[in-house]
Structure 1
Amino acid sequence: MVMIILQVIVGVFFIFTGSKIISGKMANEFERFGMPSIFNFLTGFIEITCAIGLLVGIWFPISAVIAGLLLAATMFVAAFILLVVAKDPFPKAIPAIVLCLMSIVISMSHLF
């Protein structure tokens, strides 16, 4: 039951953040990282699609496994970009790291 609640929370969170990214409201951040504007759409699309995958994964666990792993990879790359490319302070990467770990926990909970 706890995993289902976590899945719903993470899924809803990524629907909101993915929508915010895909709408272009975070375009300045992507420009700051030196990324082309297509990454706004791509990142938002991945987050929204995977968020739906997490929610569908309540009934079809393989969906949660795949979506969780893809979200974990996305958040890992986000943390890497914040720390290495943008040279931001570590606290700025904490949300991406926490979301990466939460996504891995969700995925692994469906495998074992």
Structure 2
Amino acid sequence: MGVIMIILQIILGIVFIITGSKIVSGAMDKEFVRMGYPRIFNQITGGIELLGALGMLFGIFYHLLAVGASIILGCTMLAGALSLIFLGKDPIVKALPAIILFILNVIVFIWYI
């Protein structure tokens, strides 16, 4: 089971590096504005995702980092899913990727505590 957790952490790390970079670059700026968030919020969110991704990857060796990263990234994904559903008035299907990433971060958290 330990190998599966390492693979999961690598996948999460890569996914959050990609999405965090996309957010920081401004590619998702319109989404954040559409939901009523200030423009700086996408830079903050992207930065959190990038730092969380690094924490998840280094958490393979230092488990406390994985726990912290899973909390931060899980909360970010939960907030993102709820924002899409309630502020963006989008269908739950559009929030499904964020919900899945939230669940995967919960799995990492539970594994290490």
- Tell me the TM-score range normalised by the shorter chain: over 0.9
What is the 5 A alignment of 1:37-48?
37-48=39-50
Normalised to the residue count of structure 2, the TM-score between the two structures is: 0.96
Match of 2:21 among 19, 22, 28: 19
Gaps of 5+ in 2: none
Q: Distance in 2 between matches of 1:17 and 1:30?
A: 14
Gaps of 5+ in 1: none
Question: CA offset at residue 46 of structure 1?
Answer: 0.3
> Which residue is 2:9 aligned to?
7
Question: CA offset at residue 69 of structure 1?
Answer: 0.8
> Which residue is 1:54 aligned to?
56
May I ask how many residue pairs the two structures share in their alignment? 111
Question: CA offset at residue 35 of structure 1?
Answer: 0.6
One-letter identity of the residue aligned with 1:15? I
**Partner deviation per Cα, 1:28-83 (whole Å, 9 max, x = no partner):** 10111111011110000000000000000000000000000110000000011001
Question: CA offset at residue 110 of structure 1?
Answer: 1.1
The CA RMSD measured in Å over matched residues stands at 0.5
Q: Distance in 2 between matches of 1:27 and 1:86?
A: 14
Identity %: 46
> Which residue is 1:110 aligned to?
112
Q: Distance in 1 between matches of 2:84 and 2:69?
A: 22
Q: Distance in 2 between matches of 1:89 and 1:54?
A: 29
Q: Distance in 2 between matches of 1:90 and 1:110?
A: 29
Match of 1:91 among 93, 101, 104: 93
One-letter identity of the residue aligned with 1:9? I
